[in-house]
Copies of this chain bind each other. A is one copy, B any other.
Amino acid sequence: MELFSSLTPVFIAIICVLIGIILKSNRKSSKKGKSETQNKSESHPWVDDDLRDNTDLHVEEEGQEEDADGDWQGLDENIAHVSFSAERYSEGEMIKRSKEFYELLNKRRSVRFISDEPVPREVINNVIKAAGTSPSGAHTEPWTFVVVEDPEVKHRIREIIEEEEEINYKKRMGDRWVNDLKRLRTNWIKEYLDTAPYLILIFKQVYGMLPNGQKKTHYYNEISVSIACGILLAALQNVGLVTVTSTPLNCGPRLRVLLQRPTNEKLLLLLPVGYPGKDATVPDLTRKPLDDIMVVM
């Protein structure tokens, strides 16, 4: 007891320190809303803003200003306006054109079997130019299309993706029986990454740089770049080329470094592009009928 009582000041000091720690950690979690976003921002700069879901909450945020206009037009009020006119077709022509366009696109399938036959570069340039006509939030055009034709770079991409896919698949099968590992293996082997004459890797620019060096969030960058990819897919189908829309899981940072893209760019999609292989097959899927995807009021 004598020993303990001589330690009393030490106990009191310890209590003070512990209370301090608790207060600090409480302050952190009470600031959660804000500080969490900030913490995230440090590791994923500017990404979370863009990925914010604004449909459920009445988000009242400052800093949303300037660029987050509802209509995606250029927002500089000083820019001149010019008159606009569009091609005008007869109703009959419109119906015919809309039907033909649907029929063309309805033949599109995601194809994993891609021939190594060369494809004219000019065609690739044109389909990317078409994608570049996409609208974007505040006309930021936040996309970079990296076209890989060098066989060594393609192979390096394949190695990175297959490594990660193998990990994903093996984890997925974890507890289950693995009767036929070889059959499973076809799931992570992506030969098309070597054979396709082009790999198009589409990066979203999650922020830009102002002239003064400050970062400028690109609102709606993911939606904008995905819209551009929709146009790219239509453009590819229009010239008889095939691809498979892929989102290489967990490979974004390694591929970004490999392709020497800056840190404001994040990989969105990878499209291997070419003619279909001679024995190409596709799963026998159907699409939802119009009544399942459209509601008229």
Report yes or no: A227 in contact with B235, Cβ–Cβ below 8 A: no
Flag A224-237 by CB within 8 Å of B: 1 or 0 each: 00111111111100
* A55 at the B interface (CB under 8 A): yes
* A196 at the B interface (CB under 8 A): no
A62 to B109, CA, bound (A): 30
A252: chain B residues within 8 A (beta carbon): 54-56
A129: chain B residues within 8 A (beta carbon): 102, 106, 290
Report yes or no: A95 in contact with B112, Cβ–Cβ below 8 A: no
A169 to B110, CA, bound (A): 43
Flag A8-28 by CB within 8 Å of B: 1 or 0 each: 100110110011011001100
Report yes or no: B139 in contact with A285, Cβ–Cβ below 8 A: yes
A279 to B126, CA, bound (A): 32
Report yes or no: B227 in contact with A95, Cβ–Cβ below 8 A: no
Q: Could you tell me the distance in whole angstroms from the C-beta of A155 to the nearest C-beta in chain B?
A: 12
A1: chain B residues within 8 A (beta carbon): 5, 8
Count of residues in A whose CB is under 8 Å from the partner chain: 155
Known A-B contacts A223-B222, A256-B55; A70 and B230 likewise in contact (beta carbons under 8 Å)? no
Known A-B contacts A44-B53, A95-B122; A290 and B132 likewise in contact (beta carbons under 8 Å)? yes
Known A-B contacts A51-B53, A89-B239, A239-B97; A68 and B249 likewise in contact (beta carbons under 8 Å)? yes
Pick from B66, B233, B248, B249: contact of A134, CB under 8 Å? B233
Known A-B contacts A15-B15, A227-B229; A94 and B120 likewise in contact (beta carbons under 8 Å)? yes
8 Å CB interface, A278-297 against B: 279-285, 287-288, 290, 293-297
Known A-B contacts A110-B73, A276-B86, A294-B145; A285 and B125 likewise in contact (beta carbons under 8 Å)? no
* A246 at the B interface (CB under 8 A): yes
Report yes or no: A73 in contact with B5, Cβ–Cβ below 8 A: no
* A191 at the B interface (CB under 8 A): no
Q: Which residue from chain B places its CB closest to the CB of A65 in the assembled complex?
A: B172
Known A-B contacts A84-B280, A227-B229, A230-B234; A55 and B290 likewise in contact (beta carbons under 8 Å)? no
Q: Which residue from chain B places its CB closest to the CB of A220 in the assembled complex?
A: B247
The 27 sampled A-B contact pairs (Cβ below 8 Å) are: A8-B8, A15-B15, A25-B25, A44-B57, A47-B56, A57-B253, A58-B250, A70-B168, A72-B246, A73-B112, A79-B283, A79-B285, A84-B109, A91-B123, A94-B239, A101-B130, A101-B238, A108-B133, A125-B290, A129-B290, A141-B293, A143-B293, A147-B296, A227-B227, A227-B230, A229-B230, A231-B231
- If A105-B235, A144-B294, A230-B233 are given as contacts, then 14 extra A-B residue pairs at C-beta distance below 8 Å, sorted by A number, are A22-B25, A51-B52, A54-B250, A56-B266, A83-B279, A85-B276, A86-B241, A101-B238, A102-B127, A128-B294, A141-B293, A145-B293, A153-B297, A226-B227
